[in-house]
Amino acid sequence: MEDLQTTQKPVSEETAGTPAPQQSGAYRVLARKYRPSTFNDLYGQEPMVQTLRNAFETGRIAQAWMLTGVRGVGKTTTARILARGLNYEIPGEIDRPTIELDRLGVHCQAIMEGRHVDVIEMDAASHTGINDIREITEAARYRPANARYKVYIIDEVHMLSNAAFNGLLKTLEEPPEHVKFIFATTEIRKVPVTVLSRCQRFDLRRIESSTLVRLLTEISQKEGIQISQEALALIARAGEGSARDSLSLLDQAMAHGPGRIEADEVRQMLGLADRARVIDLFEHVMRGDVASALDELKEQYNVGADPAIVLSDLADFTHLVTRLKVVPKAGDDASVTESERQRGQEFAQKLSMRVLSRAWQVLLKGVQEVQSAPKPLAAADMVLVRLCYASDLPDPEEALKLLKAGKLLGTSAAPSTPNGQGGGGPSASGPSAPVKLQAVAGGQAQAVGTPAPVMRTAPQEVERIAIRSWQEVADLAAKMRDIPMKVAIERTLRLVNFQPGRIEVQPTRDASPDIAGDLGRKLTEWTGRRWLVAVSREQGRPTLFEEKEANQRQLVSEAQSHPEVAALISAFPGAKVVDVKIHSPEEDELVPTELPPGTDSLDDNWDDEL
């Protein structure tokens, strides 16, 4: 254990706060320089701090803590601050655990620098075995050298082996009074429940963008850095809730360009597209203007934007517009720029929720396609084309109204296409006229100047079909080439009652849970009249397949009892009847009236076949 203490270094640098002492001649990155040293310096973790405050004031201090969260939210830093609070001591003034760490105590500096003899840090990623844990359990029996508690901080605890976890359980459940354990992990699900049940768990939350912007603003002022608020918002957004990542990006921005740091420099550094241009691209897509959308994407690609990031930003803006539509106060977030706020509110008033939801689904799938495509730009182009074509599709409610009004039943009109299609420039009233968004009652959006797409209806001959029996239902499914439905009707449904427009069935165990609803919808579509298929608890007749099998068995049985067939079977030992086919009058017409050349009689031909 002595070797472990002397070689142990700080595991990770998380969050930021009060500046630590500067080492002479060495530059310290912002994430280390402004690493918190007190609970008051922790950003975004107020619930955890309040719980610890109450526990320390009432003396209900746990024997072990489990800190979990994504990278960079402050797990290791919180563990060190907690170890400092447990061993806080000022001679003659304070001699008990506390979270009020306004002054440096006897052990504070050594603990925060990771070199205190009684605060042992271990990286479980490189010390995973039972022998490492055995050193801890053996050393835990001895009292601390000069502090109040011997504190063990085990980072990435989920990396321990099963044997190591099992070796830790007994000591963790009944530790000596002078020992405390603090665990940190990013994979809480990999920690055995037997360990979790012995710890007090704290889930460190992602830091909100507004909190990160405030933190970055304070540090920028302390460092004398001139940086725009839009640039800080971009850094906070790219940090994804991690203070350490955000400070690392701020460090990178400081080195990227001297003087005042603007948003354009940060976008170039991060490989992001211009947010204003992303909004322009969103507008082109919502108008169905394919040519302008593709040109805009190509221009952003030429200046260094990643197509996957462009689509991701487009999805983010779609999400923002959706939030502004349902929660107008969402625009007050510090990470939202003024341009995004103003134009996002305009789109939120014009676009319906269905249009935004459809765009979100297309983009969500499109980003994955672009990330895995061999040619990302081409894949992004196809995603934008798909979005433009989907932008002027009518909502289901609107399509139903047009259908009832008889405006979607024409078959000669060509379907509407987004603006920018080739083939002789489109006129203003043609099928490829630009889509204009106009607000209507209820916050919905209506496409003006573009005819709605044609809805294909069922063939006329199917609409005139009158189904009179259960067998005809299966025959209709076969005629419509819906083989899975035909098989389901014949093998998994027992008929209970059949009436025109209403069918009651009893599903078998092999039936799909939605078979009744699916059959009703398809019958309505195929026949042009409303059909209701209901599930009944009554015992139904055998399935069509079972009836067919029973009839076939009856035919075989009758054939076997026929005198001539019985004589044949007795003449040929081992022979049996395997199938019976009913000879129809139509098949008589297929019997040749003339014998093939070289054949004297039908008997000779029959002998040849045998």
pLDDT given for residue 153 in this prediction: 93
Q: Name the residue among 228, 236, 301 with its Cα closest to residue 271.
A: 301
| Structure token digits, residue 56 | 């320390």
Q: What's residue 239's pLDDT?
A: 82
Tokens, residue 184: 């940190």
Give the tokens for residue 101: 């760490």
The CA angle 253-259-265, to the nearest 5 degrees, is: 40
Give pLDDT, residue 294.
Answer: 92
Query: Which residue intervals of the chain bear CATH 1.20.272.10?
Result: 275-391
Quick check: 288 and 434 in contact, CB under 8 A? Answer: yes
Give span(s): CATH 3.40.50.300, the chain: 2-203
DSSP character at residue 328: G
How confident is the model over 164-185, as pLDDT tens digits?
Answer: 999 988 888 888 899 999 999 9
H-assigned helices in 541-595? 544-561, 563-571, 585-588
Residue 586 pLDDT > 70? no
- The neighbour count for residue 356, using CB atoms within 10 Å, is 21
Would the pTM of this model clear 0.75, i.e. be above it? no
**pLDDT per residue as tens digits for the range 2-28:** 333 333 333 333 333 444 444 445 678
Mean pLDDT for 52-67 is 90
Please report how the helices 275-287 and 376-391 are oriented relative to each other, as an axis angle in degrees rounded to 10: 50
Count H helices and E strands in the chain, helices first: 27, 10
Question: Does an H or E element contain 264, and which?
Answer: helix 263-270
Is the CATH code 3.10.180.10 the one for domain 275-391?
no
pLDDT tens-digit profile of 416-464? Answer: 445 544 433 333 333 333 434 443 333 344 444 444 333 333 334 444 5
**Percent of the chain clearing pLDDT 90 (strictly above):** 11
CATH architecture of 2-203: 3-Layer(aba) Sandwich (3.40)
Range(s) within the chain of domains with CATH label 1.10.8.60: 209-270
Where on the phi/psi map is residue 62: left (φ > 0), alpha (ψ -120 to 50), or beta? beta
How far apart are the two ends of the chain, measured CA to CA in Å? 92
State whether CATH 3.30.300 applies to domain 460-541: yes
Fold (CATH) for 209-270:
Helicase, Ruva Protein; domain 3 (1.10.8)
Query: Which residues are bridge partners to 68 per DSSP?
Result: 185, 203
Domain with CATH 3.30.300 in the chain: 460-541
CB distance 109 to 90 below 8 Å = no
What one-character-per-residue DSSP string does 340-358 give? HHHHHHHHHHHS-HHHHHH
